[in-house]
Every structure is written in C-alpha cells, then in structure tokens.
Amino acid sequence: MIVDAVEAAGFMCDGRVLALGSYENRVYQVGVEDAEPVVVKFYRPGRWSDDAIAEEHAFALELAAAEIPVVAPMAKRGQSPAGTVTTLLEHAASVTRSTRGVAGSGPNWAAGGPAVDGAFHGPHPHGGGAREVPAPAAAVAACDGRGSVEYLLDSELMPDYIAHRYGRVTGELLDEVEAALEAAGELRYIRIHGDCHRNNVLWTPTGPHFVDLDDCMMGPAVQDLWMLVAGSVMEMRSQLEDLLEGYTQFADFDYREMVLIEPLRALRMVHYAAWLARRWDDPAFPRAFPWFGEATYWERHTAELEEQLNALSGDWR
C-alpha cells in the first residue's frame, strides 16, 4: 500500500521503505529510482475530511510560493500545468520531498528561529497573516476543555483515588481560563500552524523548516508563539522577547495577546492528556507512552495542573 500510494503519484520506488516517527498519522520515507527519497504521509482515518486536507495543502503551497520555509506536499507527477494540482493521493496520502534535518532546538535556534517564525506568520501576500478576521479570544478554545475532562473522568485510565482531586482542580482551572479568554475580548485572527512546538521545526544546513500543518487554523499569533519557548520562566521570557524581535520585523504584534499564554498552556495540558486517552487503542501509543497508564502519571499530572492554576495569575506583558 505504501509503495502503491507513492507510485500512484508518479514516482518509481526502488523498494526502500523506512518508518518515521509520527503518532497522529503514519509517515514513511520511500526510496525513488534515480532521485532523492520522498516522504509519504497517511492521514489518520476519519480525523479530517478530504476538503480539510486539501485546504491544509493549499495553505502549505501558498507559504512555499511566498518562499516561507515549509515542507509542502508535492503535486502528482505528469499533471498538465494548466490543470488542477492534485496533492491528496490514494489512501488519503500525501507526498513531500525528504528533508534531512534535526527536530527540536536546533543549533541556531536563538539566532534563526525568531526571524523564520516572523516570516511564517507575517502578512505576506500569500503568507500566514494574509487572511485576518476579528474574533473573540474565547474562540481559541475550539476544542472543549470541559469535554476533555469529562472524557478522562469517564475513562478507565485514571485511578479512582485521583479522580476527585483531578475533577476539582480542572473545574477551577477551566473557570479561570474561560474568564481570561472572555476578558481578552476581540483579537486579530490570522492563519496559524496550530501545533507549532519545536519538534515541528526541522533544522537543516540551510536553516529551519516548518512541518506538519495538519492542525492549521485561524487564531491569534500568540497561539503559535508561546509553544516555541521552553525552560524556566526567565528563560521563556527571554526566548519570547527574541521571537517577538524577529516577528515584529515582518508584522505588528498585539501585545494584548500576551495575557493568553498561561490560559492556552492550561488548555494544552488538559487536551494533551485527553488526546493520549483517545488514542490509547492505537498500538503505537502504549509503546511510545508506557507511563500514561500508571498511577504516578496521574498524580504528577494533577499536581502540574494545580501549579498551572497558580500560574494563571502571572502576566507576560
């Protein structure tokens, strides 16, 4: 099936197939005769419609056309230049060029990351900021935090002795998050990556490249920016200053969005645990996250949520 999908896109495979790290989808590097290998991604069935995937591909191609460093899907070989470009292939798959690099911090993150991140989100004719709409910050929580909590409490993964404490802290936490999002009012929404953590930035000899736009959406710029910082509070503040220095070379930044960083982090923490729980029947997840089913994980996770409840009073401005 892997080889058939790639050859249906017009590439003659040489038989080499290497599984790459991916949880939400299935991704493989496939050797091609007389050419560099390609990467084929099979989307998780039922997660996105064909129309949604086509919109993701169109966004990536627009960014690439604007010389923004993304790994974009390749068109099916042999298409007429005047025809419609086909990037979604058989078996809900897409093919990209193979980009050799290192995910994560990268050797030049502090120097190169800010400018590239600004390039990704700035208002280029075809870039991330090209489409803007005013929208309430509360819409950031498109995935219902309370729904995630309910799912976890109904699952059999959480020990009974933790459930009451977890329910109490998440109730208080989400009350505070919703109040903060409501207080932020209307902010500028642009097209964003949606899952812009450092492992989705691939560092190559020519610099960083953004990958995996599956979760691209409309949202405030800070939704992507805050996920690129890590470490202690002081380290994160310094990193964010560097990012914004690069960002503001390309676009204006609304500093009112800074109040959303800790509420967004809280939502991410809740949603991440629920994501693991919803995928637990996928054999790849227990192998990759064996600690998730242990009581100590839920004790630690609940304690971290309690710490985050206190962090909501912090101000990044």
Q: Which of 34, 51, 195, 224 is catalytic?
A: 195
Q: Which of 34, 50, 51, 212 is catalytic?
A: 212
Q: 166 φ, ψ to 5°?
A: -65, -45
Instruction: Name which of 123, 144, 126 is nearest 254 in CA terms.
Output: 123
CA 233/CA 314 separation, integer angstroms: 10
Spatial contact of 138 and 260, defined as CB atoms under 8 Å apart: no
CA 178/CA 138 separation, integer angstroms: 7
CA 83/CA 9 separation, integer angstroms: 15
Is position 144 annotated as part of the catalytic site? Answer: no
The position carrying tokens 């206190």 is: 310
Spatial contact of 239 and 230, defined as CB atoms under 8 Å apart: yes
The position carrying tokens 């489409």 is: 131
Burial class (CB in 10 A: 0-12, 13-18, 19+), 19: exposed
Is position 117 annotated as part of the catalytic site? Answer: no
Query: Which spans in the chain are helix H?
Result: 2-8, 50-65, 109-121, 145-154, 160-184, 222-225, 233-247, 261-278, 284-288, 295-311
Active site residues: 195, 212
